[in-house]
Structure 1
Amino acid sequence: MAFLDNVEYTPDSNGVAEYVKCPLVDDWIEPVDCMENQDVKEEYIPARFKAKSDWKEICISCPFRDY
């Protein structure tokens, strides 16, 4: 395990994140899940990523947002 700012992730042999412990769901996701959520309209983002009242701010401040 490794950390980028305060977000835990599992790096591959090159140090690139294979899995990220997403602060929106407090669970492990693949980085592609994060990227897909950024590129779609809000209504299409799965509800589990929007459960926290401040989910937008959490997402914007995540160091993996534009990883």
Structure 2
Amino acid sequence: MKEKASARQLIDLLTDGTVRMSAVIRSQPADKAAALITAVESAIERYQEDGVFKIPAAAILAMGVKA
């Protein structure tokens, strides 16, 4: 059975897979961690479907060729 997605998993993904968000998350005082998780849970709840978060995200992809 697949585990239900959680705000903690999203925070772990951002911490482990990004540079800027990781720095912001890691700079928070330890006593604020619970408040951070609660805030993220509240913000992403509307994007949850069948135990999975489907959060829209914008991305810009660019390609260049050295002249």
Structure (1 or 2) with the larger CA radius of gyration: 2
TM-score (normalised: structure 1): 0.23
TM-score (normalised: structure 2): 0.23
Instruction: Determine which structure has the larger strand proportion and give its number.
Output: 1
Instruction: Using CA pairs under 8 Å that are at least 6 residues apart, name the structure with larger relative contact order, 1 or 2.
Output: 2
